[in-house]
Amino acid sequence: MNFACVCYGTKYSLEYVQKLYNMVQRNTTVDHKFYCFTDRTDSHEWLKGDIIVKQFPMVDLKGWWNKMQLFHPGILEGDTLYMDLDVVITGNIDCFFNYEPEADFVGMNDFNPDTKIFNSSVFKFKPEAMKSKLWQPFIDDRIKWLRYSGDQNVISDLIIGAPETRSFPDSWTQSYKWYDRKGQRYHKGKWTFEHNGESLVTVFHGEPNPHQSDMEWVKKAWI
């Protein structure tokens, strides 16, 4: 079993990789390899622990589009759980690793109740099944797909409805902005959000990022 994250560009520092690694180690009993795909050349100076650092083979993709390279043939072997760097893990995530073991892809339903797509902050996949389902369609018509607003839109278009596609239970994740996938919270110029007491992973898509939150439950988990 693998756990993977992607740190390309300058949006997130390697501190985010380290914090994610620390949270995963504290919150799982599943034996796994932790992979970080990054274009940073100084990772060896900053990252501590059993983190396997690799670069993607393609160098002409920018920003979040590099996440699509997770599906490049030969990059990973074995079932892989992926999470974005801007998540905060507050509970045991063994269930994410073990959920629907026969499924080729398990996604997370988007938080916006008006959309019917996967949010690509958290997903699990079988690399050997992704060549035909995601990688080859994406690379064969890359100009078309890169016009989309983001990787999760491409992933959703290609994978939702495909055989052996499942979704994680909504109760396992929460957004720092959306409450129970029913409505948005915004207060006095910044997002304020209490933990719902049930979710295991909180996604900080957009702003603020975890290091900007003044909520005590975030500070306690993001160490």
Q: Answer whether residue 101 shows pLDDT above 80.
A: yes
Average confidence (pLDDT) over 197-206: 91
* DSSP structural state of residue 116: -
Domain 2-221 coded CATH 3.90.550.10: yes
Identify the pLDDT of residue 208: 84
Contact 14, 43 (CB under 8 A): yes
Strand-pairing partners, residue 53, are 36
Q: Answer whether residue 185 shows pLDDT above 80.
A: no
3-class secondary-structure state, position 34: strand
User: Most confidently modeled of 16-25, 57-66, 109-118?
Assistant: 16-25
**53-56: long-range pairs with CB below 8 Å, 24+:** 56/8
Q: What is the mean pLDDT of the chain?
A: 92
Tokens at 29, concatenated: 């009993």
H or E, element range at 130: helix 127-130
pLDDT band at 66 (very low <50, low <70, confident <90, very high): very high
Identify the pLDDT of residue 197: 87
Can the peptide bond before residue 210 be classed as cis, meaning omega within 30 degrees of 0? no
Q: Convert the pLDDT of each residue in 41-55 to its tens digit.
A: 899 888 999 999 999
pTM of the model: 0.94
* DSSP structural state of residue 187: B
Identify the pLDDT of residue 191: 61
Q: Answer whether residue 223 shows pLDDT above 60.
A: yes
Identify the pLDDT of residue 219: 94
Pairwise pLDDT comparison (146 vs 124), residue with the higher score? 124
Identify the pLDDT of residue 112: 86
Average confidence (pLDDT) over 161-174: 95
Q: Which residue has the tokens 């990022």?
A: 209
Identify the pLDDT of residue 188: 47
CA distance 211 to 223: 10
The domain limits of the chain are 2-221
pLDDT band at 207 (very low <50, low <70, confident <90, very high): confident
Tokens at 87, concatenated: 């998540």
For the beta carbon of residue 5, count every other beta carbon within 10 angstroms.
24
3-class secondary-structure state, position 181: coil
Q: How many percent of the chain have pLDDT more than 90?
A: 71
